[in-house]
Amino acid sequence: MSDIIMMGGSAGATGDAPHDAVHAFERHRAELRASKRVWNILLLAGFAICLGLSIYISQFYPDRLASGVPRIFEYFGTIIPDLQWDLLFEGRTEEGRAVPGSLTYWYTDFWDYVGLIFETILMAITATLLGTFFAFILSFSASANLAPSRWAYWISRRVFELSRGIPEILLALVFVFMIGIGPLAGVLAIAIHTTGALGKLFSEVNENASSRPIEGITAVGGTWAEKMAYGVVPQVAPNFFSYAMLRFEINVRASSIIGFVGAGGIGQELNRVISFYSDDRVLAVLILVVLTVTVIDLISERIRHGFIGKENF
Amino acid sequence: MLKLEKLTRKFGENIAVGNATIEIPDGQMVGIIGRSGAGKSTLLRLLNRLIDPSEGQILFGDTDIAQLSGKELRAWRSDCAMIFQQFNLVGRLDVITNVLTGRLHTIPTWRSMAQVFTPRERAFAIQALDRLGMAHTALQKAETLSGGQQQRVAIARALAQEPKILLADEPIASLDPMNAKIVMDALRDINKQDGITVICNLHTLDTARQYCDRIIGMQDGRIVFDGTPDLLTTAMAREIYGAEAHEAFNEAATSTSIPAAQPVRELA
Ligand SMILES: Nc1ncnc2c1ncn2[C@@H]1O[C@H](COP(=O)(O)OP(=O)(O)O)[C@@H](O)[C@H]1O
Ligand SMILES: [Mg+2]
């Protein structure tokens, strides 16, 4: 191997100086790689132990899976409607009865379902609006760079942690006990969770806001609230909006489930048909739920991207 | 009259401004020079209380500005406008709203929170903009403007405050010579026509000499020169700028003079 010719410096003066640097570097690199290897092995071992434990606890064994899969199909068998091609679009008879085997028969309660899905979406909208409102209000004092005082920071942080720490379904149960069965319990539960989840995201956005405009508003003699309204909000509003829309998508899903504990929406009906009938009505409701969630996701994504495009960030 | 009495600000052990004692009569145009880290920005920020002093007094009339808090402090800030090297506008708000924030102090809270401004307030803001030749940009977002334009909007915001004192922290340091001249001319006009005291941190010597009635030189937090521009000798200026003398005396860098002003050529 021929020596690399060094340009300038003191390399020419002492012949083996560059060699020393190269050797030192190679030694250092080897050491670093060795220590990294140890870490990688330790991490891999840790992961393997966790995986093994979780397989053991959940009894995730191939034979159990093998015996379970047919039962899934069995269940599907019971909820698949018995549709007949020639009767598919048959209307009601003169006495107002639907013909078995027709879509009308399968979806006898179609308009009830639609009403409930509408209720579900309204629940999601109300909960998102409420949650976004409280997350917005508290997010400024929950940001390290903006908090008006140490205790305001501490309190708003804890409020966020608490409200996103408790699972929605648990909150819904409590509210159903407190204020009775119905959508209000679901809305409150989801709104509280939304406050916590969005609050954390909002305050992180706030912490990345540039301090220059805020300083500008301080220098004109603005109050704390004016600094937030003029110095911070214009910077963070597009991000807030985007996060709130994303949360709305999540909340549509949440509000179609939360009815299982009696907190309103389509989930309540889904729970009823599963526990009382377990027939083709289950699939009828399920299809509508999946359709709703998908359509809402698509629309909301459109809006978000359109908005982001306009604000170009 | 603005009077500083032994004004001191420490950051830990580091004395950013030490024992500053100055009197500034109303209507003067003062330039503060010094190498970076000399304490110029700290001094200006102390004056409108963006930072609190460690010791000493800031007297304006009979009030000690150093003791103000809450509502009175905000009133003082509104009387003592500040413009910054990086403009500190709200980029996502339109220009007119940025200028209107200069009037926040006179607007009741419910209106400022709802961003409701009266036609009179809007007219006032437009007139301020027009004075700086920026009225045509009123409905544009501030971030779409060039640096020089943003600084003019920032000056309009300061004017909207109807201040008694205008502080400027290196207002031309991020501008090209052409825009630097426009901004400095605007500051001088405001000083001469409205009688507003202007205190301006400047990096280049020739600009300070050209525009200011009085120059204050700072070095390591202390005031080492205070007098009219003609009293500032070359030796003194070299001493103040130290290692940065070359840059500070080089009118081609960030100065306002196109072509170079006479005194600078003598120095260089
Ligand atoms: N917020 C701060 N925290 C700590 N030290 C600071 C702070 N602001 C300024 N300093 C120090 O105070 C001294 C003066 O700074 P500054 O007033 O910005 O100088 P200049 O504006 O003349 O360049 C410097 O040594 C700087 O490091
Ligand atoms: Mg500075």
The pLDDT assigned to B255 comes to: 58
- On whether residue A95 sits in a domain, the answer given is no
CB atoms A221 and B154 under 8 Å? no
CATH assignment of the domain containing A193: 1.10.3720.10
The pLDDT assigned to A3 comes to: 59
Minimal-distance CA residue to ligand 1 atom 13: B16
Q: Which domain holds residue A203?
A: 109-311
Is the pLDDT assigned to residue B263 strictly greater than 50? no
Which of the ligands is closest to the CA of residue B40?
Answer: 1
Is the pLDDT assigned to residue B147 strictly greater than 80? yes
- On whether residue A224 sits in a domain, the answer given is yes
- Residues of chain B with pLDDT > 90, as a percent, come to 76
Residues with CB under 6 A from ligand 1: B 11, 14, 16, 34, 36-42
The pLDDT assigned to A85 comes to: 78
- On whether residue A85 sits in a domain, the answer given is no
Mean pLDDT value of segment B187-192 = 94
- On whether residue A306 sits in a domain, the answer given is yes
Disruptive mutation site among A220, A236, A310, A311 for chain B (greatest number of B CBs within 10 Å): A220
CB atoms B101 and A220 under 8 Å? yes
Which residues of chain B does A215 touch, with a Cβ-Cβ cutoff of 8 Å? Answer: 50, 84, 88
Is the pLDDT assigned to residue B130 strictly greater than 60? yes
Is the pLDDT assigned to residue B127 strictly greater than 70? yes
Is the pLDDT assigned to residue B32 strictly greater than 90? yes
Is the pLDDT assigned to residue B260 strictly greater than 50? no
The values of phi and psi at residue A85, to 5°, are -50, -50
pTM of the model: 0.83
Is the pLDDT assigned to residue B262 strictly greater than 50? no
Q: Which of residues 205-224 of B touch A (CB under 8 A)?
A: none
Which residues of chain B does A230 touch, with a Cβ-Cβ cutoff of 8 Å? Answer: 90, 93, 97, 101, 104
Is the pLDDT assigned to residue B261 strictly greater than 70? no
Tens-digit pLDDT profile for residues B219-247: 999 999 999 998 888 888 888 887 777 77
Q: What is the average pLDDT value for chain B, to the nearest integer? A: 89
Question: What are the residue boundaries of the structural domains of chain B, listed by start?
Answer: 2-267
User: What interface predicted TM-score (ipTM) does this complex get?
Assistant: 0.89
Is the pLDDT assigned to residue B250 strictly greater than 70? no
Tens-digit pLDDT profile for residues B45-85: 999 999 999 999 999 988 999 999 899 999 999 999 999 99
Q: Is A137 on the interface with B (CB under 8 A)?
A: no
d(CA A309, ligand 2 centre) in Å: 37
The pLDDT assigned to B84 comes to: 95
Is the pLDDT assigned to residue B152 strictly greater than 70? yes
Is the pLDDT assigned to residue B26 strictly greater than 90? yes
Question: Of the candidates B75, B88, B112, which has its C-beta nearest A216's C-beta?
Answer: B88
CATH superfamily of B2-267: P-loop containing nucleotide triphosphate hydrolases (3.40.50.300)
Q: How close does chain B come to A2, measured CA to CA in Å?
A: 45
CB atoms B161 and A229 under 8 Å? no
Atom of ligand 1 nearest to the CA of B38: 22
Total domains in chain A come to 1
Is the pLDDT assigned to residue B174 strictly greater than 80? yes
Which of the ligands is closest to the CA of residue B39?
Answer: 1
Residues of chain A with pLDDT under 50: 8-13, 311-313
Can you point out the beta strands (E) in chain B? 2-11, 14-24, 29-33, 55-60, 63-64, 80-83, 165-169, 197-201, 214-219, 222-227
